[in-house]
Every structure is written in structure tokens, then in C-alpha cells.
Amino acid sequence: MPQVTLSHRANISRLDTPYGVIRKRGAISVSAEWALMRIKDNNLMFVFEESDREEVLSTDEKTLKLLSRVMGENLADATSLSDLLLPKKKGVSKPKVSKPKKKPQTKKTTKE
């Protein structure tokens, strides 16, 4: 569930919600649907995590159209919304294979 706190520029000191009281000092968890409907509220600051992806991807088309207008973004589908709000998925990187170091060649010195 997304975390929400009051933003540093909030002109309120607390906000009662169905999920509890929001204050500047501590975050509370709210549903993604609740967060999305208030995403542009300057008093609130939201943090979405990877665990919210499934709920964000289930956003209906009507809500996507509304969010497109409110956010000023072209949200063609729920995937574009999740790409905007959620941290980028870390790609699977190939393990680095270290090349063996070349041994320095020793110079043979000949005495004449």
C-alpha cells in the first residue's frame, strides 16, 4: 500500500482519513485507489513501492482518463501509470566475469 505523509508545504497540520490520521511526522498506508484520487493534492506526499504495482495496474479506464487530465500526462493504459509512479524494475544483470590478469613479463638480464 502506498505511504502518505503531509508535505513540507502543507497548510494543514493533520488530515483524518479512513486509514487514520496523516501528520507530517509519520507516514500511513493507504490504498492505491485512495492515493490516486488525491495524487495532485499539494498537502500530501505519496510514496509508491513495487508491492503496489498490481493494484496500480488494475486502475480502470475511467480513472486513467481522469488522471491523464489531472496529472497532465498521456496515460494510455495502466502500465504507463505504473511506469510513472513506481520505481523502475531492476533489470537482471549478467554477472561480471573477471578476466585473468596477465602476469607481468620479467626481463632477462644478461651480464656481459
β strands within 1-112, DSSP E: 3-6, 15-17, 20-22, 28-29, 44-47
Domain ranges of the chain: 3-85
- 65-83: pLDDT as tens digits: 988 888 888 888 888 888 8
Confidence of residue 99 (pLDDT cuts 50, 70, 90): low
Q: What is the pLDDT of residue 101?
A: 63
